[in-house]
């Protein structure tokens, strides 16, 4: 039984049909990139997986248990084994870096001592330890991104959703971002679904790539095939 | 930038469009009564009057403060006060000029300034307003002094003597009975259980609602309670043999020194002091007591001399006493 | 070249703001300011009676501010972000208590419950001021980044999401509570009313009024008596100023620019808690709005047992009279309010821009203090100062004319708009202005179009609050010639002369007229689509 199973997912906003019969399976610890052009419905798909958005039709299952079924959200976001890194990061302006990790752990009932040690370790691993007491307003763009990843990793999710986390970065920052992705992948055994239109990110993630074309999700193929080179990837997207 | 400036320029333009009146009257009387009177004056004379009214929020001294502050360049021509003490203060400060209106000849001399700075008319009496449904064994006091008798005090109320006619009343009593005895009486009043309210209208409302049985207030407030259908009646205090008599506090009117329209001001004073206006004020729902001899009072209205004995008062001395006792009263009632 | 540079520079607009604020806010303070600044003003506090009054005022205003926060914050959550029935209605009715004079609400509560004494004053002042923290917090909640909320939901469930919402709303709510403190500390009428109907107590503002009452007693020396009025007020001004500056500093220290995608934050699903939450919303709205308004409505036709006619007949007559006598005054009040509100909407953003730019620097505190003073100084002193400044040959027509009330009333309440907008502008990402600057936009366009364009609600609220307080203010209005013919003066004149039916009806008419734009704004919001998109 696949860890994550998505079948027949459909969603429209008004007359615009964003997702049509999208479906895929993902094994525990698997890696999948959803590639598509801007506005192709990638983020909507991710949000449905997280339980933040309703579908019109289709089913999302975790370990065979339905989490979303048609318009019904059977498992609310906080009961799913999922964390997400948002495109705009979604940091909490009035909490320190440390609190971004500690507070979710506390909310999930992790004992205080364990929460502290996990927080310390993760901050150290992602190079945020010296900034532990800062608030997001006083972080650089790169530091803020690291924090968003650290927060998503702290509760040790089984599925990590990444919504174009390195979009619109300059080449240097993007290279740093990819390095960060490597660090993150090394730090987690979670399955990862990445949404992007950047072949380098898809290559860095590895696993498989599914291209979203006019709301229809093509069957996943190995990343090495779809992203063999930038030109191949561009052609795949252009067809969508 | 230009679009942002446009409203400011319009504002400035609007500000310059103020139309000057032919007469400016500062008036502390209820606007509901003063406005119709001013309208009649405007219709008869063709003059445009800017009537400025007062409020309780500024404790009835809003316009008086304005008169003091504007003394370098007076804007008011006439001050029509609904009591007398502040008017005398203005006169003593040199803010008024004498004007002996021919219309005031019918008003008793005790309500006219010997120097002609002010003239009194249409008075209110300081009375005891009481409920008519009191138990047979509970009767309202017949003397102001009795308000604090132990068996009566918890059933009665009065306004704190910090403003308005209550302040004037206690300044008059202070002059008559001595400052220390009055201060001592007020001190005892605070301890006696007598309800001390924020104003005359306020204590009237408490009696009206049945919160207590009676209160010391003015005839105009009492008239409003009675006319609104509440079971209340009026008692003129201190009428016993040798008693002080009931205090009458008149409206007063004066001409402001250096006002921009003195001639129109005099015409207005003549009009307001006429028996006709006193009759209108008597017929209104505040039932102001006419001072002109021979003004037709509405049926049932009690008149001084005929139905009750008024207190004899030297108003100049009362105003002087008021200035001396107000800080002492404030100390007593602000804690 | 120079013209283009000037267009892009903030200097001309800052100059305009400085001139407008000097005329409207600072000049009237000049004649009465010296007593405020001398150390002598505070020596009075050594006197036990005054010290006692001061402490009581501190407790009363602190309690009222706390109560406004405790009532306002939950209501803000219920009205803006919790998925419970009734949300739109609570949001619509939220500003209503601000539209009525606090004394009217105090009387309504006494009539309803018989409450009296200092606790009743604390309650009434807290209830009246609850819309301050509620409105400001609701606005802050409505602009929380959707992703920030969703991240909290994923990471820690509804509890963490709720905690994050509270953190988002707190700086704005604290500023609202600071406004509540300022108004409660300087209010004289409400404590005076509750002291007169029951347990005797006094507040420091009464001492300030006493000083004005003594002013002019000595005709030869009225100027020094007025100075005494201001000197007595000095500790109150300092206290209110301190609280306001602390709230502003707390806002400055928290958070930064909003980094959201612009997507509206979703509602927090409450599940089984939705019904109790709806009941809480109903209870709070009933407490803040429905009960006092219901009582006031009943007062319009109230009479004694011996009165003839019916309740509806008397109420109808009261409304007829209110419309007949008060229509023109209300029209003038609205004109004053419109000009004052508009002026504040033009000038306040400029100061707000400067405060945001100087954020966390000492000169920002100096500017905040200078801008706050007109609001903190006693209204009577401000009005007397306006007479000294404008009753001159140079301003002969202006002093009497319709331009003075919106100028001076708007000048007094400008600080509310400035601080509210500074808080809002500090959340607007810098890039928005920088992008416009690179595109060659003028400073005015950058400020009003690109930065405030996205914060239109806050901009409107800032102007709206100045407008509402312009209509409500009476202590100052009574001292300005053209403001004498306005709704507030007629209302308090009638209140003084016990015209109770008229007062209730006219109060409701004023509130209804002021409420119309609020309702229209709510309808517009409704047309823009549901907030949970």
**Min distance B137 CA to chain C CA atoms (Å):** 23
C531 pLDDT band, cuts 50/70/90, is very low
Chain A's closest residue to C169, CA to CA, is A94
C156 touches chain A (CB under 8 A): yes
B139 in contact with C, Cβ within 8 Å: no
**Across B59-88, average pLDDT:** 86
Mean of the pLDDT values across residues C294-303?
95
- For residue B115, pLDDT beyond 80: yes
Distance from CA of C261 to the nearest CA of A (A): 6
Question: pLDDT value at position B80?
Answer: 96
pLDDT for residue B62 is more than 90: no
Res C475 pLDDT > 90: no
More confident residue, A145 or C38: A145
Per-residue pLDDT for C379 more than 80?
yes
Residue A145 to chain C, least CA–CA distance (Å)? 12
C255 with A103: Cβ contact below 8 A: no
Can you tell me the mean pLDDT for C85-99? 90
Q: What is the pLDDT of residue C205?
A: 83
Q: Nearest C-alpha of chain A: how many angstroms from C84? A: 17
* C52/B11 Cβ within 8 A: no
C258 against C294, higher pLDDT:
C294
For A30-66, the pLDDT digits (tens) are 999 998 887 778 899 999 999 999 999 999 999 999 9
Nearest-by-Cβ selection for A78 from C158, C164, C257: C158
Q: How confident is the model at residue B99 (pLDDT cuts 50, 70, 90)?
A: very high
* pLDDT, average across residues C422-439: 82
Look over chain B and give the mean of its residue pLDDT values, rounded to a whole number: 90
From the candidates B9, B52, B62, which should be mutated to test the interface with C, based on the most C CB atoms within 10 A?
A: B62
Q: To the nearest whole angstrom, how far is the Cα of C255 from the nearest Cα of chain A?
A: 5
Name which of C214, C305, C339 is nearest B11 (Cβ-Cβ). Answer: C339
CA distances in angstroms from C8 to C5, C11, C17, C443, listed in the order given? 5, 9, 16, 5
Contact A90, C147 (CB under 8 A): yes
Range in A145-159, C47-61, C216-230 with the lowest mean pLDDT: C216-230
Q: Where are the beta strands (DSSP E) in chain B?
A: 23-27, 49-53, 78-81, 96-97, 118-131, 156-159, 195-197, 214-218, 232-235, 248-256
Tell me the backbone φ, ψ of residue A202, rounded to 5 degrees: -65, -40
Q: CA of B61: which chain C residue's CA is closest? A: C213
Taken in order of first residue, the domains within chain B and their CATH numbers are 20-123+248-301 (3.40.190.10), 124-247+324-333 (3.40.190.10)
In chain C, residues with a C-beta closer than 8 Å to the C-beta of A50 are 150, 154
Query: Any chain C CB within 8 A of the CB of A140?
Result: no
Over the stretch C324-362, which tens digit does the pLDDT of each residue have?
999 999 999 999 999 999 999 999 999 999 999 888 788
| C303 in contact with chain B, both atoms CB, cutoff 8 A | yes
Q: Tell me the mean pLDDT in the region C107-130.
A: 93
Query: How far is B9 from A160, CA to CA, in rounded Å?
Result: 59
Q: In chain B, whose CA is at the least distance from the CA of C488?
A: B55
pLDDT in tens, C206-235: 888 777 766 655 545 555 556 777 778 888
Decide if C160 and A107 are in contact by the 8 Å CB cutoff. Answer: yes
How far is the alpha carbon of A85 from chain C, nearest alpha carbon, in Å?
8
- pLDDT per residue as tens digits for the range B196-217: 987 898 899 999 989 999 999 9
User: Are B and A neighbours with ≥3 CB pairs closer than 8 A?
Assistant: no
With CB atoms and an 8 Å threshold, state whether C498 touches B89: no
Query: Which residues in chain B are contacts of C49 at CB distance < 8 A?
Result: 331, 334-335
Contact between A83 and C155 using a beta-carbon 8 Å cutoff = yes
B16 pLDDT band, cuts 50/70/90, is very low
> What share of chain B in percent tops pLDDT 70?
92
| B58 CB within 8 Å of a chain C CB | yes
Segment of A127-131, A137-141, A230-234, B195-199 carrying the highest mean pLDDT: A127-131
Top-confidence residue, A186 or B37? B37
Q: Is A52 on the interface with C (CB under 8 A)?
A: yes
Judged against a pLDDT cut of 50, whether residue C488 lies above it is answered with yes
pLDDT, one tens digit per residue, over C180-198 is 999 999 888 899 888 877 7
Instruction: Give the C window 96-155 contacts with A, CB below 8 Å.
Output: 145-155
Q: Are the beta carbons of A92 and C254 separated by less than 8 Å?
A: no
pLDDT of C532 higher than 90:
no
For the cut 60, the answer to whether the pLDDT of residue B70 exceeds it is: yes
Residues C32 and C230: beta-carbon distance below 8 Å: yes
Q: Does the pLDDT value for residue B60 go beyond 50?
A: no
A190-233 confidence digits (pLDDT tens): 999 999 888 888 888 888 999 988 788 889 999 888 887 788 88
Say what the ipTM of the complex is: 0.93
Locate the chain C residue with the closest alpha carbon to A85: C151
Q: Across the interface, do B205 and C498 touch by the CB < 8 Å criterion?
A: yes
Q: What is the pLDDT of residue C39?
A: 62
Q: Rounded CA gap, B1 and C299, in Å? A: 49
What pLDDT is recorded for position B59? 47
Give the Cα separation of A78 and B237 in Å (integer). 78
B222/chain C closest Cα distance in angstroms: 10
pLDDT-derived band of residue C274, with 50, 70 and 90 as boundaries? very high
**Closest A-chain CA to C153:** A78
Region C57-82 average pLDDT: 95
In chain C, whose CA is at the least distance from the CA of B220? C497
| Bridge partners (DSSP) listed for residue A57 | A10
Q: How confident is the model at residue C149 (pLDDT cuts 50, 70, 90)?
A: very high
- Strands (E) across chain A are located at 4-13, 16-26, 31-35, 57-62, 65-69, 72-73, 82-85, 159-163, 191-196, 208-213, 216-217, 221-222
For residue B93, the chain C residues in CB contact (below 8 A) are 216, 219, 222
Inter-chain residue contact A86 with C150, CB threshold 8 Å: yes
Mode of pairing for the β-strands spanning A16-26 and A4-13: antiparallel
* B64–C346 C-beta distance less than 8 A: no
- pLDDT, one tens digit per residue, over C155-169 is 999 999 999 999 999
Q: What percent of chain C has pLDDT over 90?
A: 48
- DSSP SS3 for B218: strand
Is pLDDT of A168 > 70? no
Strand B156-159 and strand B195-197: the pairing is parallel
The C residues from 328 to 387 touching B (CB cutoff 8 Å) are 339, 342-343, 346, 380, 384, 387
Chain A residue with the nearest C-alpha to that of C259 = A88
Secondary structure (3-state) at C342? helix
CA distance A106 to A109: 5
May I ask the CATH architecture of the domain C54-209+239-254+269-295? Answer: Orthogonal Bundle (1.10)
CB A160 within 8 A of CB A190: yes
- Per-residue pLDDT reduced to its tens digit, C9-27: 888 899 999 999 999 999 9
Indicate if the pLDDT at residue B4 is higher than 60: no
What mean pLDDT is reported for chain C? Answer: 87
Please report residues of B whose CB lies closer than 8 A to that of C200.
190, 196, 335
Half-sphere exposure for A13 (CA within 13 Å, toward CB): 8
Token digits of residue A85: 């890194």
State the chains in contact with B (3 or more Cβ–Cβ pairs under 8 Å).
Answer: C
Among the partner-chain residues B5, B55, B93, the one whose CB lies closest to the CB of C489 is: B55
Minimum mean pLDDT range among B211-220, B234-243, C517-526: C517-526
State the Cα–Cα distance between residues A36 and B3, nearest whole angstrom.
45
Q: How far is CA C326 from CA B298, C89, C410, in A?
A: 29, 29, 22
Distance of CA C463 to the CA centre of its chain: 11
pLDDT higher than threshold 70 for residue C62: yes
Average pLDDT over residues C363-389: 88
pLDDT tens, residue by residue, C448-471: 988 888 788 889 989 999 999 999
Sort out which chain C residues have CB atoms less than 8 A from B197's CB and list them: 196-197
Nearest Cα residue in chain C from B65: C216
Q: Give the confidence band of C44 by pLDDT, cuts at 50, 70, 90.
A: confident
Taking only residues 213 to 242 of chain B, the set having a beta carbon closer than 8 angstroms to any beta carbon of chain C reads 220-221, 224-225, 228-231
Chain C and chain B touch, per 3+ beta carbon pairs within 8 A: yes
């Amino acid at each position: 039984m696949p860890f994550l199973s998505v079948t027949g997912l459909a969603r429209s906003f008004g007359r615009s049909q964003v997702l049509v019969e999208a479906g895929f399976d993902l094994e525990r610890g698997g890696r999948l990139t959803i590639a598509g052009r801007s506005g192709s419905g990638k983020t909507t798909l991710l949000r449905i997986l997280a339980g933040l958005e309703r579908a019109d039709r289709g089913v999302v299952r975790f370990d065979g248990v339905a989490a979303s079924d048609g318009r019904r959200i059977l498992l609310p976001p906080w009961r799913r084994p999922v964390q997400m890194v948002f495109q705009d990061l979604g940091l909490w302006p009035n909490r320190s870096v440390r609190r971004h990790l500690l507070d979710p752990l506390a909310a999930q009932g992790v004992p205080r001592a364990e929460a502290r040690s996990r927080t310390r370790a993760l901050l150290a691993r992602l190079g945020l330890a010296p900034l532990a007491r800062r608030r997001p307003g006083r972080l650089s763009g790169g530091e803020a991104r690291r924090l968003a990843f650290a927060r998503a990793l702290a509760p040790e999710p089984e599925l990590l959703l990444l919504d174009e986390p390195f979009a619109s970065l300059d080449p240097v920052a993007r290279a740093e971002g990819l390095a960060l992705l490597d660090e993150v992948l090394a730090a987690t055994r979670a399955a990862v679904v990445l949404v992007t239109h950047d072949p380098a990110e898809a290559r860095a993630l590895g696993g498989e790539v599914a291209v979203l074309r006019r709301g229809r999700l093509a069957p996943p193929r190995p990343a090495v095939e779809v992203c063999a080179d930038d030109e191949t990837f561009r052609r795949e997207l252009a067809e969508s | 930038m230009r679009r942002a400036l446009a409203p400011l320029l319009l504002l400035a333009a609007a500000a310059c469009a103020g139309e000057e009146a032919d007469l400016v009257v500062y008036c502390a009387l209820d606007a509901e009564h003063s406005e119709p009177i001013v309208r009649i004056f405007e219709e008869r004379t063709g003059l445009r009057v800017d009537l400025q009214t007062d409020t309780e929020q500024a404790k009835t001294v809003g316009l008086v403060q304005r008169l003091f502050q504007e003394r370098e360049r007076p804007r008011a021509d006439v001050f029509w006060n609904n009591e007398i003490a502040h008017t005398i203060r203005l006169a003593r400060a040199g803010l008024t000029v004498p004007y002996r209106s021919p219309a005031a000849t019918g008003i008793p001399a005790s309500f006219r300034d010997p120097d002609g700075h002010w003239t009194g008319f249409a008075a209110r009496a300081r009375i005891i307003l009481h409920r008519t449904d009191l138990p047979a064994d509970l009767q309202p006091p017949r003397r102001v002094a009795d308000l604090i008798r132990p068996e009566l005090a918890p059933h009665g109320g009065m306004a704190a003597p910090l403003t308005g006619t209550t302040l004037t009343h206690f300044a008059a009593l202070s002059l008559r009975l001595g400052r220390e005895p009055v201060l001592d009486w007020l001190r005892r009043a605070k301890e006696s259980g007598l309800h001390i309210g924020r104003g005359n209208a306020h204590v009237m409302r408490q009696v009206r609602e049945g919160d207590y049985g009676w209160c010391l207030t003015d005839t105009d407030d009492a008239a409003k309670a009675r006319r609104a259908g509440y079971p209340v009646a009026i008692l003129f205090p201190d009428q016993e043999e040798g008693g002080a008599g009931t205090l009458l506090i008149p409206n007063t009117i004066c001409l402001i020194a250096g006002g921009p329209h003195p001639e129109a001001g005099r015409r207005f004073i003549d009009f307001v002091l006429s028996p006709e206006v006193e009759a209108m004020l008597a017929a209104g729902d505040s039932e102001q007591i006419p001072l002109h001899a021979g003004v037709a009072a509405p049926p049932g209205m009690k008149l001084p001399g005929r139905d009750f004995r008024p207190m004899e008062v030297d108003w100049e001395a009362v105003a002087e006493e008021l200035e001396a006792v107000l800080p002492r009263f404030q100390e007593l009632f602000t804690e | 070249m120079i013209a283009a540079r000037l267009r892009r520079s903030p200097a001309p607009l800052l100059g305009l703001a400085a001139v407008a604020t000097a005329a409207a806010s600072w000049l009237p303070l000049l004649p009465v300011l010296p007593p405020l600044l001398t150390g002598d003003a505070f020596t009075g506090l050594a006197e036990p009676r005054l010290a006692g009054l001061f402490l009581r005022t501190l407790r009363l205003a602190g309690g009222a501010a706390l109560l406004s926060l405790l009532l306002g914050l939950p209501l803000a959550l219920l009205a803006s972000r919790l998925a419970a029935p009734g949300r739109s209605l609570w949001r619509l009715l939220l500003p209503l208590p601000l539209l009525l004079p606090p004394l009217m609400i105090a009387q309504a509560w006494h009539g309803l419950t018989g409450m009296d004494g200092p606790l009743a004053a604390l309650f009434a002042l807290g209830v009246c001021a609850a819309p301050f923290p509620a409105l400001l917090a609701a606005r802050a909640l409505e602009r929380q980044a959707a992703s920030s909320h969703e991240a909290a939901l994923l990471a820690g469930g509804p509890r963490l999401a709720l905690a994050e919402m509270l953190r988002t709303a707190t700086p704005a709510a604290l500023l609202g509570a600071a406004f509540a403190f300022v108004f409660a500390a300087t209010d004289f009428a409400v404590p005076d009313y509750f002291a007169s109907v029951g347990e005797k107590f006094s507040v420091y503002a009464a001492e300030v009024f006493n000083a004005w009452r003594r002013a002019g007693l000595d005709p030869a020396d009225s100027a020094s008596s007025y100075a005494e009025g201001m000197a007595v007020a000095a500790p109150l001004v300092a206290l209110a100023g301190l609280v306001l500056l602390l709230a502003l500093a707390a806002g400055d220290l928290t958070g930064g620019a909003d980094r959201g995608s612009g997507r509206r934050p979703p509602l927090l699903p409450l599940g089984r808690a939705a019904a109790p939450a709806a009941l809480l919303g109903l209870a709070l709205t009933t407490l803040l709005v429905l009960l006092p308004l219901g009582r006031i409505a009943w007062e319009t036709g109230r009479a004694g047992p011996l009165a003839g006619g019916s309740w509806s007949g008397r109420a109808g007559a009261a409304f007829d009279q209110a419309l007949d006598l008060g229509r023109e005054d209300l029209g003038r009040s609205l004109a004053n309010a419109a000009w004052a509100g508009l002026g504040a909407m033009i000038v306040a953003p400029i100061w707000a821009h400067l405060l945001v730019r100087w954020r966390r620097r000492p000169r920002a505190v100096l500017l905040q203090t200078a801008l706050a003073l007109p609001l903190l100084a006693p209204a009577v002193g401000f009005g007397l100062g306006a007479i000294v400044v404008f009753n001159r040959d140079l301003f002969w027509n202006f002093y009497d004319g319709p331009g003075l009330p919106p100028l001076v009333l708007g000048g007094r309440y400008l600080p509310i708009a400035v601080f509210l907008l500074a808080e809002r502008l500090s959340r607007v990402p810098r890039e928005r202005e920088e992008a416009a600057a690179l595109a060659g936009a003028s400073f005015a366009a950058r400020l009003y179009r690109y930065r405030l364009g996205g914060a239109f609600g806050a901009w409107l609220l800032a102007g709206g609050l100045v407008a509402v307080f312009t209509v409500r203010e009476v202590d100052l209005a009574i001292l300005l010639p053209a403001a004498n013919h306005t709704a507030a003066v007629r209302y308090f004149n009638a209140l003084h002369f016990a015209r109770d039916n008229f007062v209730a009806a006219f109060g409701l008419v004023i509130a209804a007229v002021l409420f119309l734009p609020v309702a229209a704004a709510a309808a517009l919001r409704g047309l823009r689509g549901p907030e949970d998109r």
